[in-house]
Amino acid sequence: MIQLEGVSKSYKVGSEQITVLKDIDLCINQGDFMAIMGPSGSGKSTLMNIIGCLDKPSSGKYYLAEEDVSQYNDTQFAKVRNQSIGFVFQQFQLLPRLTALQNVELPMIYAGISRKERERRAQDALQKVELADRMHHLPNALSGGQKQRVAIARAIVNQPKLILADEPTGALDTKTSIAIMDIFSKLNAEGTTVVIVTHEPEIAALTKKIITVRDGEIVDSTSVEGGHSQ
Ligand SMILES: Nc1ncnc2c1ncn2[C@@H]1O[C@H](COP(=O)(O)OP(=O)(O)O)[C@@H](O)[C@H]1O
Ligand SMILES: [Mg+2]
């Protein structure tokens, strides 16, 4: 489903060129449930942003569903992002003045779906993350775990084949984190490819495959033993 070939990413900082990702080869198959681990500053978010079409490699090739998206222009890029990928972030990124339901409707507004259909699909998505009873609440009135459920509902509402989550449990306690991972496991069991970044080995152990990044390179790739293969 996803193939990175010799992907590098460099930034110019002042007169210096710093290389954040070095010649990355990575294959993600449809149905994978993968954790990306590694120390802070090792390049995990940069890698996720490239996979998520939020950023382009400085060199190398990126194939998404057999299309070389490294050649796409900004409009094509935005379209792939909106239609094929669901994003979840550590700090939830909900709009504070919109209710849970309205937040979940947002990606469908960009996709040009009618109001009635938006509402129906947003309700379904919130049902799926077991938050239907809070749909008219503002984010402020929700706990961290509930906010992350809203963010997941928003990520799945356009039915993407791929979900990317950058430290989705980073702001949550252990019990809530496990409940959130449970939702990802269920989505994966239904066929969605899920890739998460995490610092926590206990969280990574709930996936099926762990990739370790260090200094911009993939240094290890391990299948999780007895992992959540459904
Ligand atoms: N836009 C940027 N300009 C310059 N350096 C950057 C930029 N984005 C990230 N970096 C640097 O790249 C390195 C990797 O960052 P990041 O991918 O966020 O790491 P991680 O998510 O593993 O903590 C860090 O040293 C960071 O400072
Ligand atoms: Mg990061």
Q: What is the mean pLDDT of each run of 10 residues along the chain (230 residues)?
A: 96 94 97 97 96 94 90 89 92 97 93 92 97 97 97 95 97 96 97 96 97 96 72
Distance between CA atoms of 199 and 221, rounded to whole angstroms?
15
Q: What are the strands of the beta sheet with 193-197, ordered from one edge?
A: 85-89, 162-166, 193-197, 33-37, 209-214, 217-223
Tell me the three state secondary structure of residue 160: coil
CA of 215 to the centre of ligand 1 (A): 10
pLDDT at 227: 55
CB 77 within 8 A of CB 62: no
Please tell me the pTM assigned to this model: 0.93
Tell which atom from ligand 1 comes closest to the C-alpha of 197: 21
Q: Which residues line ligand 1 (CB under 6 A)?
A: 11, 13, 18, 20, 38, 40-46
Alpha carbon nearest to ligand 1 atom 8, residue:
46
Distance between CA atoms of 210 and 219, rounded to whole angstroms?
11
Which residues have their alpha-adjacent CB atom under 5 A from ion ligand 2?
44-45
Tell which atom from ligand 1 comes closest to the C-alpha of 43: 17
**Backbone φ and ψ of 141, nearest 5°:** -90, 10
Instruction: Give me the half-sphere count of Cα atoms (radius 13 Å) on the Cβ side of residue 147.
Output: 20
CA of 197 to the centre of ligand 2 (A): 8
Tell which atom from ligand 1 comes closest to the C-alpha of 38: 22
